[in-house]
Amino acid sequence: MKKATTIRARFVETDQMGVVHHSNYVIWCEAARVEWMRDQNLSYRELENDGISLAVSEFHITYRQAVLFDDAVDVFMEVTEFRSRRMAFAYEIRHSDGRLAAVATSVHIPTDTDGKAVRLPAKWFELFSQLSND
Amino acid sequence: MKKATTIRARFVETDQMGVVHHSNYVIWCEAARVEWMRDQNLSYRELENDGISLAVSEFHITYRQAVLFDDAVDVFMEVTEFRSRRMAFAYEIRHSDGRLAAVATSVHIPTDTDGKAVRLPAKWFELFSQLSND
Amino acid sequence: MKKATTIRARFVETDQMGVVHHSNYVIWCEAARVEWMRDQNLSYRELENDGISLAVSEFHITYRQAVLFDDAVDVFMEVTEFRSRRMAFAYEIRHSDGRLAAVATSVHIPTDTDGKAVRLPAKWFELFSQLSND
Amino acid sequence: MKKATTIRARFVETDQMGVVHHSNYVIWCEAARVEWMRDQNLSYRELENDGISLAVSEFHITYRQAVLFDDAVDVFMEVTEFRSRRMAFAYEIRHSDGRLAAVATSVHIPTDTDGKAVRLPAKWFELFSQLSND
């Protein structure tokens, strides 16, 4: 897996249990996808501007060690499946000392601006196919 | 002021201080606007579908009594200013026993789908002008 | 499955794809758990006040049909596993016409206020064991 | 004003108007407070661990230029009032080219873990009094 980004847990992301609420990890994985692409010269913003979204069709997450306010966690990720009509990613969210906070997977379907499933345009298919997990 | 809606504080809306995080009240006022309009047969969704948004240009809030998880608060509101290029609302968020949780005001600018400030279309101007504070 | 609650999609829950962002469904399932318990005279708030949380240890969701701003969706749920140290629930999020918006499952571990896994106290174990899926 | 932090707008923070939803700016100001303190060797986390919170009692914001997905905005801030029972801050959120996205102010009351207003402990009063706006 490649390190995609480091995220600092915001105060608003905590809940009354005193830890980061589980819903925020879903958002952190999304932020990681954007940074992981940027790091390889691929812009999710441009993809969106081209009228293509990578709609999330499935998400699975297992929580391991709670994340506290102000913790800085690293999100690692890799492509686990890549086709013109379906992509999948795996994630590890780790504390700065390496302890696993969570592991997750997501499946995505390229869609047009009407939300209709489409084949990833050739230009983007090629760009995505050059993404590396290393 | 007219009661717009009752909102149950969600667990995710709490923070590690054990109360609802202050950012959520901004969202509750938005939800109140939508319900307050619906209650008077005006659909914010249709306004959006007509290509008009009521962009928030200003928001002010004073917090009084904390709201806890699972509390049901009532949001009261009224129009305080109504022109074709500018609207303002006032809000009171109250605990079920009447205690004030917060008071707020918002100012809105009608915009088109490009985010450009526009005059509220005649049809909508008329509909809005019939909204009542009572 | 039993209907737990009806949720109106908030404007803030949409994203620039024009649909409800996928992270909000996680929150809706949480809100459904609270209402489903309340409907059967069990208070999640009292459970928390007794120092017990039902920490989410796993969440899985498959998205089917997008939810739009202002849509009212029904969340149905049921207990799929119930032990003193582990509970699991299944969810169906449905549009008002019955179409599936998403299906999800969650696994929970009772924890104390330090976040340590504990056995559900006898009083609560008994209360939970009376919850019905019908 | 001193630059507190740079924030990258997350996809989840957009709404169907295609811009960042106004509620997120409130959260960005909070994140800025934490980073601005950290930058001056003050830890908001330690303050919380000492049982003191800076509860928000008032927030005012004026929106200027919309922020789009993936924009990196800079948050500048300064102390505008500092007493043992009340603090106030001013913020400017700027696009990377310097254009103003929003200006805001917040007022805070030190509270204990029960949410009761308290005098800021001497140790923290001294630390805060050394914070600089330059």
* C-alpha to C-alpha distances, C61 to A93, C64, C103, nearest whole angstrom: 19, 10, 6
For C58, residues 6+ apart whose C-beta sits below 8 A from its C-beta are: A60, A61, A62, A63, C105, C106, C107
B72 and C CB contact within 8 Å:
no
> Would you place residue D116 in the very low, low, confident or very high pLDDT band (cuts 50, 70, 90)?
very high
Cα C90–C93–C98 angle (5° rounding)?
Answer: 125
**Neighbour subunits, D (≥3 Cβ pairs < 8 A):** A, B, C
Determine how many CB atoms are found less than 10 A away from the CB of residue C78: 17
Nearest CA in chain C to D22: C12
- Distance, in Å, from the CA atom of B56 to the CA atom of B110, rounded to the nearest integer, reads 9
Tell me, what's the pLDDT at A131?
Answer: 82
Contacts of A105 in chain C (CB under 8 A): none
**What are D40-67's pLDDT values in tens digits?**
999 999 999 999 999 999 999 999 999 9
Choose the mutation target among C10, C16, C67 for the interface with D, i.e. most D CBs under 10 Å: C16
Look at residue D126 and tell me whether its pLDDT is greater than 80.
yes
Instruction: Note the pLDDT tens digit of each residue in C83-134.
Output: 999 999 999 999 999 999 999 999 999 999 999 999 999 999 999 998 877 7
**In this predicted model, what pLDDT tens digit does every residue of A60-91 receive, in sequence order?**
999 999 999 999 999 999 999 999 999 999 99
Closest among B22, C37, B60, D123 to A10, alpha carbons compared: B22
Which 1-20 residues of chain D touch chain B by CB within 8 A?
16-19
Cβ-defined contact of A58 to C58 (cutoff 8 Å): no
Contact status of D70 with chain C (Cβ, < 8 Å): no
Q: Which of C30, C44, C70 sits opposite B45 (nearest CB)?
A: C70
Chain D CB contacts of B51 below 8 Å: none
- Which of C5, C7, C11 should one mutate to test binding to chain B, selecting the residue with the greatest count of B CBs within 10 A? C11
Interface contact A27-D12, CB threshold 8 A: yes
pLDDT in tens, chain B (134 residues): 999 999 999 999 999 999 999 999 999 999 999 999 999 999 999 999 999 999 999 999 999 999 999 999 999 999 999 999 999 999 999 999 999 999 999 999 999 999 999 999 999 999 999 887 77
| Residue C82 confidence (pLDDT) | 94
Q: Which chains touch B (3 or more CB pairs under 8 A)?
A: A, C, D
- Residues of chain D in contact with residue A75, where contact means CB-CB under 8 angstroms, are none
CA distance D53 to chain B (A): 7
Are the Cβ atoms of B12 and A21 closer than 8 angstroms?
Answer: yes
* Token pair in block for residue D70: 């993936």
Cβ contact (<8 Å) for B14 and A15?
A: yes
pLDDT at D133 exceeding the cut of 90? no
How does pLDDT run across C68-88, given as a tens digit for each residue?
A: 999 999 999 999 999 999 999
The beta-carbon neighbor of D31 closest among A10, A27, A31 is: A10
pLDDT band at D132 (very low <50, low <70, confident <90, very high): confident
User: What was the ipTM of the complex prediction?
Assistant: 0.96
Does the CB of D49 have a partner CB in chain C at under 8 Å?
Answer: no
| Burial zone of A132 (CB within 10 Å; 0-12 exposed, 13-18 middle, 19+ buried) | exposed
Would you say the pTM of this structure is higher than 0.80?
Answer: yes
- CB contacts of B6 in chain C (<8 Å) are none
Q: What is the pLDDT of residue B10?
A: 98
